[in-house]
């Protein structure tokens, strides 16, 4: 299944590219990295990234999906629902039903779809409590993919993502190196040849973290990231409010570091 001339990415902060930051403060991310792989040797390749931080599944399905259906690209990547299921009391089954509606519409339109399941949060102190909900959602996603003929990038089973260095300090977003590996894995699932290997082990850590350092880190993370996120949820606010997608139109692919992009707030959220 190799040979895509157009690609549209749908989703939230994961697909927008947080926290794979470029020197100008914008974000690259696995989707841009995948687009670069797909564009190699294909001068007419076009790419759009409609993803935006903080988007919930209803927003993605109502705002982004119709655009993808209208554009009818050769490939759509869809990752949605993560922001929904981490909300206390969320109905994971209902989120999965909404996700399936989107996949079904894309496949009915004849568009190949690549989806992503949730990563294993076991290595993340505090965030590890979400493992059960993520696992349930992942089971739904595998079933949805099978029913509709979508392909799956299995983030849960990616060994390199089980290392703390794969995650940013906010414990919600991946590091630049993790984004690179996810792009390589995505290309592999699509059958696209790549030069790198996402399975390559991380180098040994120079200094092993101590228990007391981990507890201090938990306190800092709670103050800097968790409590502000809870406050935004209670107010019905999102870090994506007032922002626009970085690549809103299907256009010839140009790396972001070669584009002039409007400056966006450097605050980071899911």
Q: What's this model's pTM, rounded to 2 decimal places? A: 0.87
User: Does 222 score more than 80 pLDDT?
Assistant: no
Alpha carbon distance 263, 270 (integer Å): 18
User: Does 212 score more than 70 pLDDT?
Assistant: no
CATH number of 6-199+215-255: 3.40.50.1110
User: Could you read off the pLDDT of 45-57 as tens digits, one per residue?
Assistant: 999 999 999 999 9
- Residue 223's pLDDT band (cuts 50, 70, 90): low
pLDDT at 262: 47
Where along the chain do its domains lie? 6-199+215-255
User: Could you read off the pLDDT of 40-90 as tens digits, one per residue?
Assistant: 989 999 999 999 999 999 999 999 999 999 999 999 999 999 999 988 889
Alpha carbon distance 47, 39 (integer Å): 9
User: Over pLDDT 90: what percentage of the chain?
Assistant: 69
């Amino acid at each position: 299944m190799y040979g895509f001339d157009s690609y549209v990415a749908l989703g939230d902060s994961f697909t927008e590219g947080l926290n794979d930051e470029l020197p100008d403060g914008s974000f690259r991310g696995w989707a841009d990295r995948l687009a670069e792989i797909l564009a190699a040797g294909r001068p007419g390749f076009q790419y759009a990234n409609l993803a935006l931080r903080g988007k919930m599944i209803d927003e993605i399905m109502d705002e982004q999906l119709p655009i993808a259906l209208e554009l009818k690209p050769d490939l759509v990547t869809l990752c949605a629902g993560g922001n929904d299921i981490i909300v206390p009391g969320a109905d994971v089954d209902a989120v999965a039903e909404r996700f399936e509606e989107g996949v079904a519409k894309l496949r009915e339109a004849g568009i190949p779809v690549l989806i992503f399941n949730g990563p294993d949060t076991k290595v993340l102190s505090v965030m590890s409590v979400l493992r059960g909900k993520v696992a349930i959602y992942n089971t739904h996603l595998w079933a949805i993919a099978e029913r509709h003929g979508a392909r799956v990038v299995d983030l849960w089973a990616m060994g390199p993502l089980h290392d703390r260095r794969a995650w940013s300090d906010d414990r919600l977003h991946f590091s630049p190196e993790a984004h690179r590996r996810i792009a390589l894995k995505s290309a592999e699932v699509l059958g696209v040849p790549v030069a790198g290997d996402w399975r390559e082990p991380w180098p040994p850590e120079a200094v092993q973290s101590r228990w007391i350092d981990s507890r201090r880190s938990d306190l800092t993370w709670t103050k800097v990231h968790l409590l502000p996120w809870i406050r935004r949820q209670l107010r019905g606010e999102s870090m994506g409010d007032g922002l626009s997608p970085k690549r809103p139109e299907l256009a010839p692919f140009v790396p972001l570091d070669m584009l002039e992009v409007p400056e966006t707030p450097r605050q980071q959220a899911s």
